[in-house]
Structure formats: C-alpha cells, structure tokens
Amino acid sequence: MPDMGRVPWMVLVSRTLLVSVFVAVPLSMAVESEEDAPSEWKLWKRANGVDYEEENNDIKRRAIWEKNKELIEDNNRKFYMGVSEFTMAMNKYGDLTRLEYHQLLGAKVNGNAHKKGKTANARKLRYHARRLRLTSVDYRQMGYVTEVKDQGYCGSCWAFSTTGAIEGQMFRKTGQLVSLSEQNLVDCSWSYGTYGCSGAWMANAYDYVINNGLQASETYPYTSVDTQPCFYDSNKVVAQINDYRFIPTGDEQALADALATIGPITVAVDADHPSFLFYSSGIYEEPRCNPNNLSHAVLLVGYGSEGGRDYWIIKNSWGTGWGEGGYMRMIRNGSNTCGIASYALYPIV
C-alpha cells in the first residue's frame, strides 16, 4: 500500500513542474503581441467550446495559451531545421494551468519502488521472441486494440492502461475485441489501493480484476468522475484475468520481447513535459525525461523503425486530437527513454 504520509508515486504534481510552460506569465503577454493573436485565440476557444465568464480569467488563460503557442512554434522551427525529430501542435489543453495538466497524469508510481507481484523471466521472453524474428510489431493492425478513448479531466490513465492490456489478451484468447469499462475500475477498486481520478498503481487495478473481473464499456460507461457509487454487476462480467507479470525493471529488450510474444503492455512514462502534452507527430525524444519520475500510464501497442531510428508505439487516453490520432511514437534506443520499461506489466488470462 502506498505511504499516504509521503508523495512517492506518480502523483499529480511531479518534481519537474513543467517550468517552461507553466511559469508565471505576466498579464501583459495577453496584450496583442501579433495582429492575428486575438482571432487565433477566439478560434481556439470556439473550436474547444471554451468560454470564460470573467474577463480576468480570460486574460490569464490567454497568457498561458500564448506561452504554449510560442513554445510549440519554437519546437516546430527546430523540426524544419532538422534539429527536432517531432512536431508539436496546439490542442484542447492549450490553456491548462499546471495543476489542471497534472490531473491528466494519474498513475501513482515510484520508479524505484518495490513492485509486488512476480517478474517475467527475461531469458524465456528472449527465447520465444527470437523464434518470431520480428523487426516490427503493431497490434492495431492485428485486432488487439480498441478505439482511442478519452479520460477527460480525470487522472484515470491507470484504468485505461489496464483495460487496454486486458482487452488485447481477451482478444488473443477469444478472438473477440470488447471495449472494457474503465469506470468499473474507477468506481469499484478503491479498497485495492486505487484513488479514482487521483491516480493509482496499475498493479492494484490488476488485483481488482483478478478477484472481480470487468464489465464492458457498453454496460458500464465512462463518466470521467470518481464521485458516483460502484454499479458493478457480477452477472455482466466479460473479462477475467488470473495473474500478471512485471517486465524486469529498465530492460527494454525484455519489454520488446514481451510485446512481440504476448501482446499490448501496460506501461508508465515520464510525461511531465510540455513536449509530451503538445506532441503531434514524429518520433518523440525528450532529453529531460527521468526514468524514475513516472507520471502517466499508457498502453504499449507496438514497435518499429523509420529512417534508421527505432521507436515504440504507445496508445494514449487523451482522444484522437492528441498526437498521431491518439498515438505517439517514442524513441526506442535501449536507454529506457522516459522510463517506459521502469514499470511495465501484462495480464495473464
């Protein structure tokens, strides 16, 4: 169980603090710095259904938005100069405060913490993966992956990462792809050490599923809140797991081998950077990533190579408007980039 007297896990506020985006911005920045800034700001608000009742709030939000816009444009200039390998784009999160952004980062994991549960045998994973001789894997093309979902402004990424891996294993077992209920986990797994919209260890979510199973999204739809009671109905359970295994900590080869031989994997990453928040396309690489500062849970669904650069494919839970249709390609270079192999596990059905 987490030590509630400390903040040891992927809590909503990390040590990195996104200084480059969320520094205090002078209100004077909200004054038109460019002729087209007002119209762009209004168009963005209209496109995202945003309306601020108080003028002071509008001014403050616009200052944040303009700072983010400047950062995005700076990165994209570097991309076209061949300095950066990925593009960034303004999205629905453009006006978020630091605290609001951290509400999206809901996995509670300390990369150095002891992991309960068994660890997979890396040697066995390597043996089976070598027999496959795969240079790329993409479970989206193999029927294992449901549509991109959106967690809303609730730190429930841990639930989406958990259901995604179980969805894949249930497909592998039954040949049927069924979207599983994240809300079932958010509402009903508190006694297992999860914290609804305030995050969780993904292994605790797996423990709940071992004992209770999961309903489908169709019978237990997502509401993006953690204030409603548990509506779990055991007669409507459509997925069950028997156990789970961790990947050896920091071992990217073992992670790739497990992905190739088993299916999509639950992983955690350091997403506490504006480059992650506004990622749009390309192969993501953030030099400031800390493999022990895990802040966000995602689903690993593949790997491949482009232009001599290897990458992972991760499925996020921020809707299709983020990244490459809801996905990111992250650099795969054996150095445990952003901690992708620091806390990785898969279900056994």
- What residues are labeled active site? 157, 296, 316
Q: How far is CA 238 from CA 7, 184, 208, 347, in A?
A: 35, 12, 14, 15
Query: What's the CA gap between 175 and 170, in Å, rounded?
Result: 7
- The closest of 255, 245, 264 to 169, measured between CA atoms, is 264
What sign does the dihedral 334-79-101-178 (CA atoms) show? negative
What residues contact residue 12 under an 8 Å CB cut-off, 6+ apart? 99, 102, 103, 105, 106, 155, 198, 199
Query: What's the CA gap between 200 and 186, in Å, rounded?
Result: 10
Q: Which amino acid is at 111?
A: G
Measured in residues, the chain has a length of 349
Q: For residue 296, list its beta bridge partners.
A: 269
As a whole number of angstroms, the longest Cα–Cα distance in the chain is: 63
- The closest of 189, 138, 142, 137 to 163, measured between CA atoms, is 189
Query: What's the CA gap between 125 and 254, in Å, rounded?
Result: 7
SS3 247: coil
In the numeric block, the tokens 């797996």 are attached to 206
Q: Compute the radius of gyration of the chain from its Cα atoms.
A: 20
Q: Go through 117-134 and write b for each residue having 16 or more CB atoms within 10 A of its CB, e for each that does not.
A: eeebebeebbeebeeeee
Query: What's the CA gap between 250 and 145, in Å, rounded?
Result: 25
Q: For residue 330, list its beta bridge partners.
A: 284, 312
Tokens in use for 113?
A: 């913490």
DSSP states of 18-44 as a string? THHHHS---GGGGS-SSTTHHHHHHHH
